[in-house]
Amino acid sequence: MLSIVYFAWVREMIGRDGEALPRPAPETTIADVISALAARGDGYAAALGDQQRLRAALDQHFTPLDHAIGDAQELALFPPVTGG
């Protein structure tokens, strides 16, 4: 399984803070995973339809969306950070 966690308005629009997905092939990119989730429609489409607005972390490291999932355990999807 691949654990997915959502933050900020991504979490709010989807209506949950995370879920587990059947493990995708290692060469699957983060963008591929996002596209598959967005295809579920409703909140998923609203939150994940425009990938330009999204950032990601694989196993707690910021990772560009065109990178492959590899053997990562956790994928986090969120808007650009606004701390500090």
Task: Judge whether 67 and 58 are in contact, CB under 8 Å.
Answer: yes
Q: Is 72 in the site for other proteins (CB under 8 A)?
A: no
Helical residues (DSSP H) of the chain, grouped into ranges: 8-14, 30-38, 42-48
Q: Which of 21, 35, 40, 60 forms a contact with other proteins (CB under 8 A)?
A: 60
Q: Is 43 in the site for other proteins (CB under 8 A)?
A: no
What angle (nearest 5°) sits at the alpha carbon of residue 4, between those of residues 66 and 82?
Answer: 75
Q: Indicate the residue among 33 and 63 with the shorter CB distance to other proteins.
A: 63
Pick the closest to residue 50 from 69, 74, 34 (CA basis): 34
Using the contact rule CB under 8 A, the part of the chain among 2-10, 26-34, 38-46, 63-71 near other proteins is 2-10
Is 42 among the residues that bind other proteins (CB under 8 A)?
no
Binding site for other proteins (CB under 8 A): 5, 7-9, 57, 60, 62, 74, 76, 78-84
